[in-house]
Amino acid sequence: MLSPEGMKVPEPFMTARDSATKDRVRGNPLKSLKPARRERSVSMALTPDDAIELTEVTAQGHENRLHIPVESVSPLAFALVHEMMRGRLDAVDALRNLLGQYGIAYGGS
């Protein structure tokens, strides 16, 4: 999904099959879709101590958890911003828009 400024906005988590179906139908909006079979679901939460918890549940009921402790959130944020903004000439404006979209405080001119 693109915002009015042309910035890539994160979409909800999708399975590989959902993504392939979405790409396949973009060229033909009249083509009917079969409901995608969910192979896994992924959820993300911020814990009370500000850590990040990711949980993946497969169709077979297997659960994988990833806990990112609060002391690792800042280096993770840096790595993700680096990946998103590397090589973009509009990086400052795009990051400012993203922060504003999620209500995250920032400083600067």
- Which residue from 32, 33, 39 is spatially nearest to 58, judged by alpha carbons? 39
Tokens of 66: 């990833």
8-42 pLDDT per residue, tens: 444 444 444 444 445 444 554 455 555 556 688 99
In one-letter notation, the amino acid at residue 85 is M
| pTM to 2 decimal places | 0.55
46-77 pLDDT per residue, tens: 999 999 999 999 888 899 999 999 999 999 99
- Which residue from 109, 81, 74, 75 is spatially nearest to 95, judged by alpha carbons? 81
